[in-house]
Structure 1
Amino acid sequence: MDVSPIIYGTSAFAQLYNPIKAHWPAEACKRAIDLGINTFDTSPYYGNSEQVLGKALLSISATHPRSTYYLSTKVGRYGLKKKEFNYSKERVRASVEESMDRMHTNYLDIVYAHDVEFVSVDEAVEAVGELFRLKAEGKIKYVGISGYPLPYLLALIPVLHERVGQTLDILMTYCHYNLHNTLLQDYIAHFRDLGISTIWSASPVSMGLLRSNIPVPEWHPAPAPLLSAAQDCIKIVEDQSPGKDLAEIAVKFAMKWRGCEGLVVGMSNAEEVEKNVAWWKDVQEDGARDEVQERCEAALRRRLQAFEKLEWASPPIDDC
């Protein structure tokens, strides 16, 4: 696949971070493809994101057919409670079919076993094994896992490889390369050594933590000291560069690191698509220096230094 370096994260379509207007998704998807963002990432766990994305892409199919973009989705997690995780081979197969129906396609480019840290190794093996069977049938093209805690992912991957008898094609993790946490940088060579050829890093704004004008979601798992420090960062940016949003500094910081093959960025509308593409061009321009960006980054990193290698605890899963 010739995947764009920016991956369109569509959880925003389910209004998980902020409200959206009905016409935004189709406009945003069209603008994204026109500007070179050719990959959309979603999940049945993200509310109605798959349905909204599918409807948006169908509405522009006359000018932007299925061959012009890649679709990435997930299986296994469907809610917040333990009973809403189902990694059985039967559910995995059904989930892939449901996702294809929602997005009006007869194949999926990438499918991840979603949030593998919340289930047993046996469950992960069963799900990944079924994904590889679906790959052999041509219904999906690449198989991966997604999750948060890097030490756990690093320990799980060789077990999956041995028990499934296949090497994962792709790994996605999130909130591990941003202004307050660059831990992925320490692990990426180890993932490569395990044969993972493609790695995506998601959420350069750390699930809404690093933005100026939108409140941090109430469900955010960051510990209180980090939440407080993030609020201080808003003031630092205002002082260093009035009118700039913390999100711009955060996204550009993540874009400058090319350790991964894809950076998954959540976007709500066409304007945000255009901003992210412009930011990408800014940071990739050879020899270009952005003194405001550098000054803000340095001040923010000093304030966030205490959290540099911090992994917050994954939220507990309700057994009910």
Structure 2
Amino acid sequence: MKITTVDSVTYGVPDLARAKQFWSDFGLSLEADDERRLLFSAMDASTVEVKLANDPSLPPAIERGPGVREATFGVETQADLDAIAAELARDRHVELDREGTLHTQDPLGIAIAFRVSRCRAVTAPDPRFNVPGRTGRLNARGEQYSSARPMEMTHVVFMVPDTAVEVDFYVGRLGFRISDAYPGRGYFLRGGASNNHHNLFLLNPGGTGAQFGFHHLAFEVANIHELFGGGLNMTRKGWKTMLGPGRHPISSCYFWYFLNPCGGGAEYDFDSDIVNDDWVGGEFEQTPEAFAEWCLAAGMEESLLYQGVQTGETIEER
């Protein structure tokens, strides 16, 4: 089953105006706008769909408040889509809509969907970096970015109370691969035909409190200059940093997360690991240093992605 990437996510929110402002400031292109629905795109044609929370077309919420209602993964061919439909129909309801997207739920009730991918390949411009012994830019200043334009939607993250049942489903039934793991606590999964380090991250944060729900959605930008330009623009526009800027040792990328009125966070990434069949994954202890080797905007306890659940504090109390 050749799953390639995250093609789309759908949010349920109480306020479309705030959602429109956030994703526009974040750098996505507005493709559709009416009184009940917004549609945004990144440069690779991956999409963010936002609907009012009471829209009857939305799958049920898995948590209180706004958040992702459905994550849609792209596949290479119609044959891949048919194979997923046949496999999942053995023990759960699957539904094919008029546009050819297959809808179902994972073992914990998270709504997921599959379609022949609508994403297209994109290529970032040469950043012309200067490094010792190699000059990429002579007698010229580095480019400055006043904002970001995300190129690719790369991964979606859910907090789950049972990683074992989820990993069995996504790896055993859908052909995802484990790129790296915090054994028993977090799993970085990529589609069987994906070269991104992960398209899906499943995290069991432990403790009590908000242990089940959407955490964040990530987008890759062209270079480190654009990541900082986008982050500074979001800050100027009044959006609050969730975490960052910083760098992940696992997946190697630079990051900057912002709290999203649609739920969870939205992340800018740059320089994420690209992997193939020769990749050798690792198993890591879940420590602050394993999650972020440096992070400017939050203490290292925050950088574990716990967001309060270590102490039993719920998201609503924060």
What TM-score bracket applies, with the shorter chain setting the length?
0.3 to 0.5
Larger helix proportion, structure 1 or 2? 1
TM, length-normalised to structure 2: 0.32
Compute the TM-score of the two structures, normalised by the length of structure 1.
0.32
Larger proportion of strand: 2
